Structure 1
Amino acid sequence: MRVWLTGLVCALAVTTGAARAAPVESSATAGKAPKVAYLSLIIDDLGQNPERDSRALALPGPVTLAIMPDTPHATDFARQAHKAGKTVMLHMPMDPATGPYAWHPELPLPELESRLNAALLKVPYAAGINNHMGSRMTAEPVAMSWLVGELQRRHLFLVDSRTSAKTVAAAEAQKIGLASVSRDVFLDDERTAEAISGQLQTAIKLAHKQGSAVMIGHPYPVTLDVLERELPKLKSQGIELIEIRHMVTERGNEAMAGHGKNGRYR
């Protein structure tokens, strides 16, 4: 279609005598549309505060909502988010997180399975999971191997929050072809508007550099303030906000440069 339209434009220019005034495209840019960069955004730690949950739900675009199972509003908010057409994820507590659902390295696999089952019941409509904390747990190859196999059996995807450089979660997912992606940028480790805005710009630059970026933020009032203001501006910066499941397809389960080498997770 682009070739046909280009020919039509040139023909019209010739017939109107405007051909000599028309700019000539260089061979490097001729026929190439501007490349769109992709961002996905996950908001973690939901289910605790109805006011903040509602603000997260109202964020524009396909924002993914990760809900903690051990929160007072987990089930109700999961249903509300699903009804609103948002992607729901289970934000699974992992060591050093505590509580009745949290995974710990010393627990046997049957107990890990029991806690995963209970957590999924608390967060209905979950399409996938990501880890809450988990710097110790995601470094456990046996547990992560079991987890990714179980997620594949259940047709759920994995987002490795990468709370530790020692994580093997994404690598184990890649081994069996489980649909997964890894987090690139945390937005709000520092809870100031300036820092969060700076992290958002870091994510945008990274997306332009490598084609895509996955961001994780939290329902802090200052984070929501920044996102409410800045998300509508993404398109003008050459960014398309996409569903996390579409990001899995976009990346094809390959590791980005910051996570591995030649597409393989370290």
Structure 2
Amino acid sequence: MRYLLLTLFWLLAGTAHAAPAKTYMSIIIDDLGQNTERDNRTLALPGPVTMAIMPDTPHAIDFARQAHKAGKTVILHMPMDPATGPYAWHPDIPLPELASRLNAALAKVPHAAGINNHMGSRMTAQRTPMTWLMAELQQRHLFFVDSRTSAATVAAAEAQAIGLAHVSRDVFLDDVRTTEAITAQLQVGIAQARKQGSAVLIGHPYPQTLEVLQREIPRLKSQGVELIELSQMIAERGNQAMPGHGKNGRYSNR
């Protein structure tokens, strides 16, 4: 009996002193390459914030090189329907033209490690082009981030189906452009990270967003959250769908 009590004591003591589970967060800032001042403010954010650069912007090439030189992860922010412009993907465009637009867009964003969709609520619901895109990215050794601009997206499901390195967005930071709302959304992201072990947040280079992140990123560690590179987040999630995106690690739209 004494041995049993001692064993129980040490088991409980070990549990009490066990290291807490890690809580991770990655932050992506979209729509970069349009404005030098905003781009530079974004680049100055502390920590491994990912720079998503639009191809049809005046500073795309220069800023991609600048961000890469600064040690930041660069990704192509690929325009997709309902986005417009010379690089945008639309459901009625044949695959050869989609391929040509992807090639041209990647040429405008040197050092891109992957892509995420700009808009794309209609396009990411199209299974055939999404299947083609994921296979193409796999051949190019690029990863994919599903911005989840629509619940009907099949993009991440197609990435998962072929084992392409990818993650899906959990929280948009700045649908409402006030510092109060953005701060509240960041707290939603922190809560989600604690609940599921990690969270991927997407924001934009609005002055309010940059102000909040400049202030709050240094405080994440004291809240038990570690800001990590997007590549580390992909490895951490292991291509599994989060509970809000599917069930038992599989995307619901597969």
Pairwise same-fold verdict (TM > 0.5): yes
**How big is the shift at 1:235?**
0.2
Deviant stretches of 4+, over 4 Å = none
**How big is the shift at 1:28?**
6.4
Once the two structures are superposed, residues 183-216 of structure 1 have per-residue CA deviations (whole angstroms, 9 ceiling, x without a partner) of 0000000000110000000000000000000000
What is residue 93 of structure 2 aligned with on the other side?
107
What is residue 10 of structure 1 aligned with on the other side?
none
What is residue 4 of structure 1 aligned with on the other side?
none
What is residue 117 of structure 1 aligned with on the other side?
103
Once the two structures are superposed, residues 135-164 of structure 1 have per-residue CA deviations (whole angstroms, 9 ceiling, x without a partner) of 000000000000000000000000000000
- Secondary structure class of the residue paired with 1:48: coil
Report the Cα distance in structure 2 between the residues aligned to 1:69 and 1:256, rounded to whole angstroms. Answer: 29
Aligned with residue 44 of structure 2, among 54, 58, 65: 58
**How big is the shift at 1:26?**
3.1
**How big is the shift at 1:30?**
4.0
* Residue 73, structure 1, aligned to residue 59, structure 2: yes
* Residue 138, structure 1, aligned to residue 124, structure 2: yes
- Secondary structure class of the residue paired with 1:230: helix
For residues 1-266 of structure 1, what are the structure 2 equivalents within 5 Å? 26-27=12-13, 29-266=15-252
- Secondary structure class of the residue paired with 1:167: coil
Once the two structures are superposed, residues 39-92 of structure 1 have per-residue CA deviations (whole angstroms, 9 ceiling, x without a partner) of 000000000000000011010000000000000000000000000010000000
Name the TM-score, length of structure 1 as normaliser. 0.90
Report the Cα distance in structure 2 between the residues aligned to 1:200 and 1:171, rounded to whole angstroms. Answer: 26
Report the Cα distance in structure 1 between the residues aligned to 2:149 and 2:142, rounded to whole angstroms. Answer: 21
Report the Cα distance in structure 1 between the residues aligned to 2:75 and 2:211, rounded to whole angstroms. Answer: 23
Report the Cα distance in structure 1 between the residues aligned to 2:221 and 2:162, rounded to whole angstroms. Answer: 35
Report the Cα distance in structure 2 between the residues aligned to 1:159 and 1:169, rounded to whole angstroms. Answer: 9
Identity %: 76
Query: Which stretches in structure 1 are left out of the alignment for 5+ residues?
Result: 1-23
**What is the letter of the counterpart of residue 94 of structure 2?**
P
What is residue 8 of structure 1 aligned with on the other side?
none
What is residue 5 of structure 1 aligned with on the other side?
none
Report the Cα distance in structure 1 between the residues aligned to 2:65 and 2:11, rounded to whole angstroms. Answer: 52
- Give the stretch that moved more between structures: 207-216 or 25-34: 25-34
Two-structure CA RMSD over aligned residues (Å): 1.3
Report the Cα distance in structure 2 between the residues aligned to 1:60 and 1:135, rounded to whole angstroms. Answer: 31
**How big is the shift at 1:34?**
2.0
Larger radius of gyration: 1
Report the Cα distance in structure 1 between the residues aligned to 2:158 and 2:11, rounded to whole angstroms. Answer: 47
Query: Which stretches in structure 2 are left out of the alignment for 5+ residues?
Result: 1-9
Report the Cα distance in structure 2 between the residues aligned to 1:110 and 1:25, rounded to whole angstroms. Answer: 62
Report the Cα distance in structure 2 between the residues aligned to 1:260 and 1:40, rounded to whole angstroms. Answer: 20
Report the Cα distance in structure 2 between the residues aligned to 1:183 and 1:216, rounded to whole angstroms. Answer: 7
